[in-house]
Each structure stands twice: as C-alpha cells, then as structure tokens.
Amino acid sequence: MAWYCSGSTNSELIENLSKTGLIKNERVKKAMLGVDRAHYAPSRAYSDSPQPIGHGATISAPHMHGHACEYLIDFLQPSSRVLDIGSGSGYLTHVLANLVSSPTTTQTGCQVIGIDHIPDLVELAHNNMRKSEQGREYLASGRVKFITADGRLGWNEGAPYDAIHVGAAAEQLHPILIDQLRAPGRMFIPVNAEGNQTAAGRGGGQYIWVVDKKEDGSVHKKKVFQVSYVPLTDYPRKQ
C-alpha cells in the first residue's frame, strides 16, 4: 500500500518506494534520490501523498511520480526530449531532467520542458528548482525550461518529444499531443473515463493511458490503472 512508503527523509521515502516494488528501475530510483522533495513540497515532503501547492494544484504523490517514470523510462535516454504538461511544483520536471542527463557523455539536444497555465506556478517551479545547484545548472543551460501555456496544445516549438508526461486529468487523449510525439515515443496521460461527470473531473473515473507511437508511425493506446488527478482545465481554473 503506497501510503506506507512515507519516510522521515528523502532517501528513506525513495528506499521505501523501492522496497515495496513501486519503483523497480535503478535509474528511476537514482533520479528520485537526486531530487529533495522538500524543495518542491511545501509540507509533509516525505509523505507518500499529494500535497497542496496553491491554485487548486497539488504536487502528486511520490508513488505516482515513480509510476510515471517507470512507464516512460525506455524513452528517457541521454539526448531525449521530454514534455511535462501540468508541471506544477516542478518536481517531476527535475527528476525527468536527471533521467535524460548522463554524467559521462556530452549531450546534445536533451531537454525537458515543463508547461503550466498558471503563471504563479511556473514561477514557483523556477524558484523550487533554483534551490539546488543542479537545478540552477539545468535552468542556466536550458536543459530545463518552464513555459506558461495551455498544455492541452502541447508545445509545438519543442516537438517531437520522445516522452510526454501529463500531470493533470484530460478530457480526452488529445490528438495534438500524439502528433507531437516522436516515432518511437510514449505518452503517459490520465484521462477522464467516458461519462465521468464527477465534480471538476475528480473522483474515481480517471485512468492512466499509455500511448505508444511506434517507429512506423502507428499509434497504440493502453489503459493501465485507475487514478485521481486534478483536472486539466481552461484558464482561469473552474473550481
């Protein structure tokens, strides 16, 4: 059970996620150990639960960040380009940057772009990332870039992306996002189940979909597990 993974330090939390099998891949574990969640979560940073970050947004639970990285891992290589939609606190954007960074090779082209439509949250993500030397380097080098925009449209200027992560529940598998995937490429996206009329899209009716664009351009969609995310909305947010 995910909540039992909470720790009193960052490393204890990540070790617990690893011990329970919620994180399986060593690269994911290392990338998460490399980012102190206390720089991104304003309270209960090492609890395995979502925490409010203002504007109706939450930093997702650590096990959800772990799942997202596990599903995307094959598409997170040195030189990969990644789009993190609904970047919120910026935590996952930082972890994703760790995953496309290699200490041994000089990289060209790798970049993680975080998008959020709330300017205050984009500023928050910047400020959070500036709390570590590595984060400051990522911002200065342009390896990480935060943009204020409607994430439902993706970010065409940076496309194609090897991996797209969506951190808020979408109404549909936006075809424009699939267009911006590289072939091969993968998207991890929570989507409201058809007919889910619960308040603002919250509640039991959302599922993670993994969308693969194969080398030949064919698109394969798989519904993998049920989740509860804040919704991907118009700006200003409908509460």
Q: Which residues are catalytic?
A: 60
- Sole binder of ligand SAH in the list 66, 135, 151, 205 (CB under 6 A): 151
Applying the rule CB under 6 A, the residues between 56 and 75 that interact with ligand SAH are 57-60
Which residues pair with residue 213 across a beta bridge? 185, 219
Burial of 78 (0-12, 13-18, 19+ CB in 10 A): middle
Look-up of token digits 């203002």: 54
Stretch that binds ligand SAH, among 84-92, 101-109, 200-208, 220-228 (CB under 6 A): 84-92
DSSP code for 15:
H
Nearest distance from C-beta of residue 184 to ligand SAH, angstroms: 24
Binding of residue 112 to ligand SAH (CB under 6 A): no
Nearest distance from C-beta of residue 34 to ligand SAH, angstroms: 16
In the bound state with ligand SAH, the residue whose beta carbon lies nearer, of 144 and 232, is: 232
The CA distances from residue 160 to 11, 75, 81, 83, in Å, are 34, 12, 8, 9
Binding of residue 150 to ligand SAH (CB under 6 A): yes
The CA distances from residue 6 to 66, 67, 137, in Å, are 13, 16, 29
In the bound state with ligand SAH, the residue whose beta carbon lies nearer, of 108 and 171, is: 171
User: Contact at 8 Å (CB) between 218 and 156?
Assistant: no
Question: What gap in Å lies between CA 3 and CA 47, rounded to an integer?
Answer: 7
- Sole binder of ligand SAH in the list 36, 48, 116, 162 (CB under 6 A): 116
Burial of 158 (0-12, 13-18, 19+ CB in 10 A): middle
What mask, x for binding ligand SAH by CB under 6 A, covers residues 159 to 178?
--------xx----------
Binding of residue 189 to ligand SAH (CB under 6 A): no
Which residues here bind ligand SAH, judged by CB under 6 A? 55, 57-60, 85-89, 91-92, 115-118, 121, 150-152, 167-168, 230, 232-233
